[in-house]
Amino acid sequence: MMKIYINGKFYDKENAKISVFDHGLLYGDGVFEGIRVYNRLVFKLNEHIDRLYESAHSIMLKIPLSKEQMIKAVISTLKENKLTDAYIRLITTRGEGDLGLDPRKCAGKETTIIITDKIALYPQRLYKEGMNIITVSTTRNAHEALNPQIKSLNYLNNIMAKIEATNCGYEEALMLNDSGYVAECTGDNIFIVKNNELYTPPECMGALSGVTRETVLGLARSGKIQTHEHVFTRHELYVADECFLTGTAAEIIPVVKVDGRVIGHGKPGRTTLDLMKKFRELTRREGVKY
Ligand code: PXG
């Protein structure tokens, strides 16, 4: 039986419920993280916790637990569910208030939820053959409106882009920022390889500071690959030698076609395959053991 953590207690899935007055539901007012566990090793747990608290700080949401308490809560949820490989969804909402926007009404009611589940893996075919993605007309949120670096519960911007892509028969959407520069995909960061060097858009272009993104940049640097967090347009993407996406759920997934343009040789590239291998090795040996 799946056990879900809500504010320090475990509930069966059927009984894991929160108020309909929770501002997480009413307004998407809250923050979240998605974390992976590989064979009892929680991958980059501290990095995810840090990002959760940074997102909360930015929206002036007080998480009732200290980081150490949050880490303990995550581990105890994993133990309760006896999972060795898992996907963790960590959420803190503003909590129960009234029908008005004012978050002051929710003070002291912040709600922390931890769901651990089996991982829903992407089809193996996509890793072997690579993905075919399309640019959508929904632009990434402007940072002065709702900064894409805040991993908030308000994901409509990404969902609208995902709907556009699936309506066109594509698995994933490429999102540009409101100046037309490449930002990221709906739940993954984007990278290109050109002349054996690695490029990804800087966060200020509308990209989340992805934990997998940081990991891949580190792996590339230790493999003596030059890395650049650099602004680029769709043209640079179209003429890249290789392209791939990174995310906790997807890990590293090759992209072989963008807007109908074949990338490189139309197959997952050498650098991509090498980084995929190194990433898998890292997930096997590094993490918080429980
Ligand atoms: N960009 C966005 C907008 C994300 O939500 C990433 C990049 C990758 O970040 P990490 O830290 O995971 O390397 C994310 C995180 C989904 C889904 O169902 C994806 C995320 C979160 C929640 C759901 O695809 N990705």
Instruction: Note the pLDDT tens digit of each residue in 186-239.
Output: 999 999 999 999 999 999 999 999 999 999 999 999 999 999 999 999 999 999
Vertex 43 angle, CA 213 and 12, to 5°: 120
Best substitution site from 88, 163, 189 to test ligand 1's pocket, by max atoms within 8 Å of Cβ?
189
Distance 162 CA to ligand 1 centre (A): 13
Ligand 1 mean position, distance from CA 290 (Å): 24
Q: What percent of the chain lies above the pLDDT cut of 70?
A: 100
Is 151 among the catalytic positions?
Answer: yes
Task: Report the pLDDT value the prediction gives residue 269, as an integer from 0 to 100.
Answer: 98
Which run of H or E residues covers position 195? none
The alpha carbon of 33 and the centre of ligand 1 are apart by a number of angstroms equal to 8
* Predicted pLDDT at 249: 95
Q: Is the CB of 189 under 6 A from ligand 1?
A: yes
Determine the straight-line distance between the first and last CA of the chain, rounded to whole angstroms: 20
Mark 212-240 as b/e (b = at least 16 C-beta within 10 Å).
Answer: bbebbbebbeeeebebeeeebebeebbeb
Domains, the chain, in order of start with CATH, read: 3-117 (3.30.470.10), 125-283 (3.20.10.10)
Q: Nearest C-alpha to atom 9 of ligand 1 is from which residue?
A: 210
CA 174 to chain centre: 15
Q: How confident is the model at residue 121 (pLDDT cuts 50, 70, 90)?
A: confident
- Percent of the chain having pLDDT more than 90? 98
Dihedral angle over CA of 197, 199, 253, 82, nearest 10: 110
Q: Place 251 in a pLDDT band, splitting at 50, 70 and 90.
A: very high
Q: Does the CB atom of residue 206 touch ligand 1 within 6 A?
A: no
Average pLDDT, the chain: 97
